[in-house]
């Protein structure tokens, strides 16, 4: 789906689905920044994910000039998500074994998921940056359910090694105190009013 207003600076299918479900058209430009290599900061996770969202947006702003010149979509929307378990930052798993360790470490306890969002106006350079968090609880997961998840490769590219909505649909004993879309990487309840305000500016 294309639109004359918005670039989604993310390769996340879930973020794209959230925007599409809300009726927002967009063009995708994926930043080449590897946030898995960024030094994690568990002391201020909100600031950390906001910084990474800004870095992604800034990189795509440069790419947008090369692709569109002074024209093209006016806004760039970027986001970054991470899990925090008892003060420890849990990023994206490097392999199947690390995904298994991450998910098992979440069992029978709660962890926080924090998403940072950055919206930049290409015409003025103005930017809006915020973070939102939710608390996720996971009960005891059967070995069969985890093996199915690991076997499909669904852990790849996911903070904490899982996608909330997919795992809920698969019957995982998951609960969320907060916005599930924050866990999925893009809280539309906060993004859509911001887009509406900017479009009306």
Catalytic machinery residues: 80
How far is 133 from 82, CA to CA, in rounded Å?
A: 10
How far the first Cα of the chain sits from its last, in Å, is 23
Do residues 74 and 27 touch, judged by C-beta distance below 8 A?
A: no
CA 154/CA 193 separation, integer angstroms: 31
CB 121 within 8 A of CB 168: no
Please write down the HEC assignment for all residues of 4-33: CCEEECCCCHHHHHHHHHCCCCCEECCCCC
Report DSSP state, residue 201.
-
């Amino acid at each position: 789906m294309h639109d004359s207003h918005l670039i989604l600076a993310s390769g996340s299918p879930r973020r794209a689905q959230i925007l599409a479900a809300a009726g927002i058209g967009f063009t995708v430009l994926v930043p080449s920044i590897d946030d898995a290599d960024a030094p994690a900061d568990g002391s201020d996770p909100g600031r950390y994910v906001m910084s990474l969202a800004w870095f992604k947006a800034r990189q795509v702003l440069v790419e947008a000039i090369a692709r569109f010149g002074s024209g093209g979509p006016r806004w760039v929307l970027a986001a970054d998500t991470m899990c925090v378990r008892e003060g420890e930052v849990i990023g994206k798993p490097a392999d199947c074994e690390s995904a298994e360790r991450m998910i098992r470490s979440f069992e029978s306890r709660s962890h926080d998921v924090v998403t940072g969002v950055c919206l930049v106006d290409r015409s003025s350079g103005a930017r809006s940056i915020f973070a939102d968090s939710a608390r996720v609880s996971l009960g005891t997961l059967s070995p069969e359910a985890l093996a199915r998840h690991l076997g499909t490769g669904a852990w790849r590219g996911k903070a904490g090694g899982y996608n909330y909505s997919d795992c809920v649909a698969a019957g995982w004993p998951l609960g969320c105190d907060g916005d599930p879309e924050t866990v999925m990487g893009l809280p539309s309840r906060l993004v859509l009013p911001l887009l509406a305000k900017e479009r009306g500016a």
